[in-house]
Amino acid sequence: MARISAYHFFLSQAGYSHGSDETVIQGRRRCAKQLAAAERWAADNGLMYVWLDDPDCTADQFEFEEDKQHVREHGAVGCVLYQPCADHGVECKHARVLGALWGITESLDNRARDSSRRVVEAELACEAVGTL
């Protein structure tokens, strides 16, 4: 099976916004391009993502019963974007946190989970572009 381009992945999987001066389609395309570029930027700069359980996340932090039930049964996770220490990786005191998102509920379907994680990672990279 052929792998789709990063742009096409984000076009089909990620959320988007559009400005008053662009159409919905233009906004979707712009956002997909930004996420694809940020994903490439993070890879080119050797950035690392670490996914962790979020023990501080509780069901009462969510509005919808489906999310509350998921957190009670399966917990939640967080993702941290690091610029790792060149010598010791992300566990070193010299590693730099560039962004993080916590309280994420994930699908139990591995394919859906992996797609969602890729979008979260690209969003964190998008926010970190230009910080190095």
Domain count, the chain: 1
Are 128 and 47 spatial neighbours (Cβ–Cβ below 8 Å)? yes
User: Is pLDDT of 132 > 90?
Assistant: no
pLDDT tens digits along 62-110: 999 999 999 999 999 999 999 999 888 888 899 999 999 999 999 999 9
Average per-residue pLDDT for the chain? 94
* Residue numbers of the domain that contains 56: 6-128
**The predicted structure's pLDDT at residue 2:** 64
Q: Is residue 60 part of a domain?
A: yes
pTM metric for this prediction:
0.90
Residue 107 lies in a domain: yes
* pLDDT of 112 strictly over 70: yes
* Buried/exposed 29-48: b ≥16 CB within 10 Å, e otherwise: bebbebbbbbbebbeeeebe
Asked whether residue 23 is domain-assigned, the answer is yes
In a domain, 1, yes or no: no
